[in-house]
Amino acid sequence: MQLTLWTYEGPSHIGAMRVATGMKGLHFVLHAPQGDTYADLLFTMIERRQERPPVTYTTFQARDLGTDTAEIFKTAARDAFERFQPRAMIVGSSCTAELLQDDPGGLARALALPVPVIPVELSAYSKKENWGAAETFYRLTRTLSGVRRERPQRERPLANLLGPTALGFRHRDDVLEITKLLNTLGVDVNVTAPMGATPDELTLLGEADFNVVLYPEIALPAAQYLEKAHGQPYTKTVPIGVGATRDFIAEVRALANLPEGAVLPESKLPWWSRSVDSTYLTGKRVFIFGDGTHVLAAERIAREEMGFDVVGLGTYSREFARDVRECAKRHNIEALITDDYLDVEAAISAAHPDLVLGTQMERHIAKRLRLPCTVISSPAHVQDFPARYAPQMGFEGANVIFDSWVHPLMMGLEEHLLGMFREDSEFHEGASHLGASSAPAPATPQRAVPAAAVSAAPAAAATPLDPQWSDEAARELKKIPFFVRGKARGNTEKYARERGLTTISVGTLYDAKAHYGR
């Protein structure tokens, strides 16, 4: 274990909490010291849940270590059942409690509670949050899904949606978007799990014709078990981005034996990416870091749909290290596989990207480096659990992604131009879109000028040092974009003065452009 100020994943019991908190009628009894109750805040503060997670902590203290801590666990488990009356329970230990070797699973079985009690071995010192969520969901699926059963022929196929949990990045909205997409294709959703499901509904998992794996880092072990035990195939494509969503639709049609023909919604992302307004985005350098699922999806979107150059790619999900390394080879870069945010910061600094796509930590890093950033993955903070509908999956998710990626770049361009050309005289010729704040400063009162100096002024104005613009050249100058027009005017006048020209023609304007463009 490593002492750090920031971690991309919590310990594995946080993953188990994400599964329990997302479900209904499931209670988690966690053998843990008093300090581990901090985890409640992840859900009530960051995800803004209205109720505490369904978790009972044994909360043993230092003075209890010389007594029977096993009895503390049994009392907590018995009291939790009597108080909450869950339909099923899971039991496990935090990293500290693992050292006691109290065996929560065996202790819970000895209580002979009248509901299923599923022990979860969380391996807290070697595994982390996403693994803990995957292991917990796998154990629940294996215990509760029952035996293989015959599935009747249906007019509309049934699918399970697997993988969404509490505290997941946009999981709530992804489920809604993919449910709508499947319904449009002619597929009904049987069970969505773990988020929103009850233990009783997990017994119905085997009735579906196939499974949709939304988040492989959580759902893949359960989907592989269901394929083996119940004969249910599962999807391999995560529908994030326009191309991936189209591939997902084709995969669903093949698994469900669906004909072509359903009229589907489309995303605006491809049109915007081809439009004149987006030519500024082409070739932008982007650095991508996060969980494996969202990193792989973001790389494809950046490469195929946005025209970005990927200059950095990495993940903290070591289970996806091989996939991310293969993906990085397309860009002739070495993938960054790490859970140390200092390594990520050094890599971003060295890559000099125009945009960072990452987690909440990369947002902080980008802010220090004065780079635009969009959060695309957990871990995320409260602002990335919006009240509005903001999926990442499906065609509507592609629209959300386009907006969230492009806006930081365009705002960065606007701020850059405002800072560079704010004092340019072209901003002050008549009304300005910058408003009163950019109006020219009031003229400074001038002292009286001696008559001799006044009489000499016309002669000075007629010197070759101040070349005059011809009407044709002035009209040509106005065709130059406003934010570089002042620079073009200054360069042309300098070019004319150096050559003793008294009049600037269109030819002089283009000669100056060629001269300074070398």
Segments making up each domain of the chain, as ranges: 12-128, 146-256, 268-377, 468-516
Backbone angles phi, psi at 382, to 5 degrees: -60, -35
Q: Report yes or no: 184 and 262 within 8 Å, Cβ to Cβ.
A: yes
pLDDT at 396 over 80: yes
Report CA dihedral (248, 251, 257, 258) to the nearest 10 degrees: 30
CB atoms within 10 A of CB 368: 10
Long-range (24+ apart) CB contacts under 8 A made by 116-121 are 116/88, 116/89, 116/143, 116/144, 116/199, 117/77, 117/88, 117/89, 117/90, 117/91, 118/88, 118/89, 118/90, 118/91, 118/143, 118/144, 119/90, 119/91, 119/92, 120/16, 120/90, 120/91, 120/92, 121/92
pLDDT at 294 over 70: yes
Q: How does 326-338 read in b/e, with b if 16+ C-beta sit within 10 Å?
A: ebbeebebebbbb
Does residue 272 sit in helix, strand or coil?
A: helix
Asked whether residue 412 is marked as a ligand-binding residue, the answer is yes
Does residue 40 sit in helix, strand or coil?
A: helix
Model's pTM, two decimal places? 0.78
pLDDT-derived band at 425 (thresholds 50, 70, 90) equals low
Asked whether residue 413 is marked as a ligand-binding residue, the answer is yes
pLDDT at 436 over 50: no
Q: Report yes or no: 14 and 39 within 8 Å, Cβ to Cβ.
A: yes
Q: What is the DSSP letter of 44?
A: I
Tell me yes or no: is domain 12-128 CATH 3.40.50.300. no
- What digits encode the pLDDT tens for the residues 320-356? 999 999 999 999 999 999 999 999 999 999 999 999 9
- Specify the pLDDT at position 274: 64
- Terminal-residue alpha carbon distance, the chain: 57
Residue among 128, 206, 164, 217 nearest 21 (CA): 164
Helix H or strand E segment including 119: strand 117-119
Task: Report the CATH number of the 146-256 domain.
Answer: 3.40.50.1980
- What digits encode the pLDDT tens for the residues 141-200? 999 998 888 888 888 999 999 999 999 999 999 999 999 999 999 999 999 999 999 999
Distances (CA, A) of 70 to 67, 76, 89, 247, 386: 9, 10, 18, 52, 42
- What digits encode the pLDDT tens for the residues 265-282? 777 767 666 664 556 678
Same fold for the domain at 12-128 and the one at 268-377?
yes
Q: Report yes or no: 435 and 497 within 8 Å, Cβ to Cβ.
A: no
Q: What stretches of 370-470 show up as alpha helix (H) in DSSP?
A: 394-421, 451-461
Helix H or strand E segment including 154: none
Helix H or strand E segment including 26: strand 26-31
Does residue 515 sit in helix, strand or coil?
A: helix
- Specify the pLDDT at position 421: 54
The whole-angstrom separation of Cα 303 and Cα 246 is: 16
pLDDT at 2 over 70: no
User: What is the homologous superfamily of the domain 468-516 according to CATH?
Assistant: Proto-chlorophyllide reductase 57 kD subunit B (1.10.8.550)
Question: What is the token pair recorded at 401?
Answer: 């992604």
Mean of pLDDT values over 116-136: 92
Identify the CATH class of 268-377.
alpha beta
- What digits encode the pLDDT tens for the residues 229-255? 999 999 999 999 999 999 999 999 999
The residue from 277, 291, 339, 343 that is catalytic is 277
Burial class (CB in 10 A: 0-12, 13-18, 19+), 192: buried
Known catalytic residue at 424: no
